[in-house]
Structure 1
Amino acid sequence: MRRFAPLAAVALAIVAVPAVIAQSPGAPGAPDKTRVTGGTYAADSNHTMVVWQVDHLGFSNYTGIFGDVTGTLVLDPKNPAASKVDVTIPVAKVTTASAGLTAHLLREGKDGGKPDFFGPAPADAKFVSTSVVLDKDGDEAKVIGNLTLNGVTKPVTLDVDFHGAGTGMNKKETVGFEAEATIKRSDFGVSMGIPFVSDEVELKIHAAFEKQ
C-alpha cells in the first residue's frame, strides 16, 4: 500500500493558520484564526479520520481509513509552539473498499505464523506531539511527534493546515485541521508485499476537536 498505515493522529494539527479548503457558505466553521480560543479540546471521533494510501503494483493507488480517533488537543493561540496533541487510533477498525482486503489486514498468520499485516487483535496506534514549528509567515506548521504503530515507535512529522473554527451544532467551540505525512510501513514491521505494494504510505488526516 503506497503510504499506508496510521498514525495516530491524527495526529494532528495544532495551530491556527489559513484554510486550504473552502467551507460551504453558511457553515458554522470558517478559516478565521481569531475564532480560536485557548484551552483543551477533545477529538470529535465522528469527524476525525486518518486516510492512508499506497501504490498497488504500479497500476493504481489504494486507499483505506482509520476512524473513531480519540484524544486531546491543547491550544494556546498566543503561543502556538506550546500546543500539544495526543491521539489514539483504533487500528482494529480499519476499513477499505474491499471486505476481503480489510479481512486480510486483520487476519491471523497462516499456521500460527506472523500475520501479513496487523493481525486479529492489533493494538491501537498513538501519536503524541513533541514540538510545533511555525513557518516564518505563520501560515503553516510542522507538528513533530512520536507515532506508535504495530508495537513500534518512530518520529513522524505532520504538515498541518488550519481548516476552520466556530461553534458546532452541539454548541461547542470547534476547531478543524488538515494534515499530511509520509511514512514507511516497513519501519513499523508491516512489510508484506513490498515492493509490489509500496513501502511508502501517504497519510492524510482530517481532524475536528471540540472544546471541553
Structure 2
Amino acid sequence: MATTKWAVDPTHSEVQFKVKHLMITTVTGYFSSFNVEVETEDEDFTKATRTIFTADVDSISTNNEQRDTHLKSADFFDAENHGQVRFEGRDYEKSSEDEYKLTGDLTIRGITKPVTVNVEFGGVVVDPYGQTKAGFTVTGKINRKDFGLTWSAVTEAGSVVVSDEIKLQAEIQLVKQG
C-alpha cells in the first residue's frame, strides 16, 4: 500500500467557531489562515496515518476589530505566546455510512486535551483540472475553559457575557499531492 499525501485547498475550505454572546445570540468567528495535512494508505481515510490541522491565531476574525484584538490578547488566545491552534488526529473511525469520528489532541494556549469531532465524508472526486479532491464537513464542541480561555464577565442583570461551550465547524477540501 502506498502512502498518499493530502493538503488543504484553502480556496474551497473554511474553519469557523460559534459562541453564545449574552446567552441570546451567537457570534461566529473564522480563522483565515490555516493548514491541513493528511497522510492515508492509498485513498482510504479510515487508514490515515497522519492528520494535522493548524490555525494561526492572528488570522482570527469575527468581523469586529475590537473583539478580534481582545480574542488575540492574553485574556483569550494569547497570540503573542501561543500563535497557533493545533489538532493532531489519532483515530478515524466509521460510525455510519458517511459519518466518522476523529479523535485527537487539540492544543490551545499550550494546553493539550483529547477531543473527538464528527466528520461527514463527502467523497473523493477528480475536478475539471485533473486534481483528485476529498471533501469533509467537521463539527464538534469544546469547553473553552479546558484550554485556559477563562476570561469572563457578567452583566448587571447577572447574565454571562460569553458561554463556555464553543461550537466548531469546518468545511475542508483536500487535494491529493503528487
C-alpha deviations, 1:39-89, integer Å up to 9, x for none?
210112333322100111122011100132213112347754321411211
1:145 aligned onto 2:104: yes
2:10 maps to: 45
Q: Which residue of 2 is the match for residue 134 of structure 1?
A: 94
1:176 to 135, 140, 143: 135
State the 1:177 CA deviation. Answer: 0.4
What residue identity is the alignment partner of 2:86? K
User: What is the TM-score with the length of structure 1 in the denominator?
Assistant: 0.72
Listed one character per residue, the Cα deviations across residues 143-191 of structure 1 (whole Å, up to 9, x for unaligned) are: 1000111111011101000124323355321111001010011010001
* Equivalence for 2:148: 189
Q: Which of 87, 97, 100 is matched with 2:66 structurally?
A: 100
After the TM superposition, which residues 1-212 of structure 1 pair with which residues of structure 2 at under 5 Å, given as runs? 39-76=4-41, 80-83=45-48, 84-107=50-73, 115-121=74-80, 122-135=82-95, 137-168=96-127, 170-193=129-152, 195-212=160-177
- Write the distance in 1 (CA, Å) between the matches of 2:120 and 2:127: 19
Identical positions, percent: 29
Contact kept? 1:54, 1:197, Cα under 8 Å? yes
CA contact 1:46–1:68 (8 Å) conserved in 2 = no
Alignment size in residue pairs: 168
Residues 170 and 38 (structure 1), Cα distance of their counterparts in 2 relative to 1, 3 Å cut: farther
RMSD between superposed Cα atoms in Å: 2.2
Moved more, 73-82 or 187-196: 73-82
> TM-score, normalized by length of structure 2?
0.84
Contact 1:49 1:68 in 2 (8 A): no
Opposite residue 11 of structure 2, the aligned amino acid is: N
Question: Contact conserved, 1:48 with 1:69, CA < 8 A, in 2?
Answer: no
More off after superposition, 39-48 vs 79-88: 79-88
Q: Does the residue aligned with 2:12 lie in a helix, a strand or coil?
A: coil
Would you tell me which structure has more strand in proportion to its own residues? 2
